[in-house]
């Protein structure tokens, strides 16, 4: 009986409490008065885009899910290049996204199956001169280039009559299209306007020479995918640093007029020959390179490198040509 009394008392207390306290009222008027913003919204159910109006405080959530502020613009086809796979496919993007795609090597329009996109006229003219193309139209048959093993751009060459002629006048600025030279093992350029190069798809590359008559604005080179590289020669390339840790097959290295400040060759145990000309290197540890036969250091303007650390084996067998540097098993670093 006592138990029922307690329950009855509790029920009366709860009812009384509810009667004394007004129910809260949610005022949505403030929400309705917030500024409206136009958003191009993607509807995943219908796979379509449409312009909708939303409250300002909902914008962040829409942007997070792939919508963008403003009215939906017309869709345009773009031939998109995937740097990871080295392939192209046609995708549709909004007009306001087009500029960003063009900046990253895509081009407007549908991809042409069986063709490689070559937007740089001087590069395509070189391909025409070499017999891999015949019409200057920004495209070359992929089948004409995917088995090419050697490509020399901007050097002296034999003309159609077999005469030794001057340097090509085709000053290549953009090597877009080089990614489809899948069999390329030897690439050399002597162009002075190159600002960017992507060799990530040229995994068979063994010899690379970027040798320019004047300094180019090429401040970065990624060779991490070129694991078969054996010879690397750079002339008048304004690099501050270069990562060669993945290039373990490298045998010959030449850096000429390259203002590089440091050089880690600890992984390049197959190096036989190293030549450095007017670099900014102050320390060079070659103590891990037991196959080394020759080192040349020409620092005519700087003479910053005085001691080259080598193993005791190399100390007695390798040749050093330098006006200021010397071999030692101890250099203080």
Does some domain include residue 12? no
Q: What is the mean pLDDT of the chain?
A: 83
Distance of CA 9 to the CA centre of its chain: 76
Does some domain include residue 309? yes
Does some domain include residue 184? yes
Higher confidence at residue 128 or residue 167?
128
Residue 289: pLDDT over 70:
yes
Does some domain include residue 99? no
What stretches of 202-288 adopt beta strand conformation (E)? 207-211, 231-235, 252-256, 273-277, 284-285
Question: How many residues are given for the chain?
Answer: 333
Does some domain include residue 22? no
Rounded Cα distance, 228 and 153, in Å: 21
Range of the domain at 148: 115-328
Q: What's the confidence (pLDDT) of residue 4?
A: 43
Higher confidence at residue 119 or residue 20?
119
β-partners of residue 43 are: 48
Q: What's the confidence (pLDDT) of residue 172?
A: 86
Q: What's the confidence (pLDDT) of residue 279?
A: 92
Per-position DSSP letters for 133-192, written without gaps between them? --S-SSEEEHHHHTT--EEEESSEEE-TTS-EEEE-S------TTGGG-TT--EEEE--S
Residue 24: pLDDT over 60:
no
Does some domain include residue 48? no
With b meaning 16 or more CB within 10 Å and e meaning fewer, what string describes 123-147?
bbbbbeebebbeeeebbbebebbee
Q: What is the pLDDT of residues 197-211, one digit of tens each?
A: 999 999 999 999 998
Question: In 3D, which of 238, 138, 232 has the Cα closest to residue 192?
Answer: 238
Does some domain include residue 233? yes
Q: What's the confidence (pLDDT) of residue 10?
A: 41
pTM of the shown model: 0.74
Q: What is the pLDDT of residues 227-285, one digit of tens each?
A: 999 999 999 998 989 999 999 999 999 999 999 999 999 999 999 999 999 999 999 99
CATH of the domain at 250: 3.80.10.10
Number of domains making up the chain:
1
Does some domain include residue 105? no
């Amino acid at each position: 009986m006592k138990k029922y009394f307690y329950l009855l008392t509790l029920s009366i207390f709860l009812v009384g409490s509810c009667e004394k306290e007004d129910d809260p009222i949610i005022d949505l008027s403030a929400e309705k008065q917030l500024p409206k913003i136009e958003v191009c919204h993607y509807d995943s159910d219908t796979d379509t885009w449409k312009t909708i109006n939303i409250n300002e405080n909902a914008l962040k959530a829409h942007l997070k899910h792939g919508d963008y502020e403003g009215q939906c613009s017309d869709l345009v086809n773009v031939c998109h290049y995937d740097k990871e796979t080295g392939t192209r496919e046609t995708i549709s993007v909004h007009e306001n996204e087009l500029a960003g795609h063009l900046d990253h090597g895509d081009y407007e329009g549908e991809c042409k199956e069986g063709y490689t996109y070559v937007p740089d006229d001087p590069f395509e003219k070189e391909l025409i001169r070499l017999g891999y193309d015949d019409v200057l139209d920004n495209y070359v048959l992929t089948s004409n280039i995917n088995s090419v093993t050697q490509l020399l751009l901007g050097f002296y060459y034999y003309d159609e009559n077999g005469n030794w002629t001057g340097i090509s006048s085709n000053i290549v600025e953009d090597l877009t299209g080089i990614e489809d030279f899948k069999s390329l093992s030897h690439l050399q350029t002597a162009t002075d306007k190159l600002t960017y190069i992507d060799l990530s798809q040229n995994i068979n590359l063994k010899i690379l020479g970027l040798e320019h008559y004047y300094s180019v604005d090429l401040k970065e080179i990624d060779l991490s995918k070129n694991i078969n590289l054996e010879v690397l020669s750079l002339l008048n390339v304004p690099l501050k640093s270069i990562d060669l840790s993945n290039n373990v097959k490298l045998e010959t290295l030449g850096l000429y007029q390259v203002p590089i400040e440091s050089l880690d060759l600890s992984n390049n145990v197959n190096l036989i020959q190293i030549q450095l000309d007017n670099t900014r290197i102050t320390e060079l540890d070659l103590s891990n390179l037991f196959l080394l036969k020759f080192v040349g250091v020409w620092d005519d303007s700087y003479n910053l490198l005085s001691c080259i650390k080598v193993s005791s084996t190399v100390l007695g067998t390798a040749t050093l040509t330098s006006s200021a540097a010397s071999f030692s098993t101890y250099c203080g670093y």
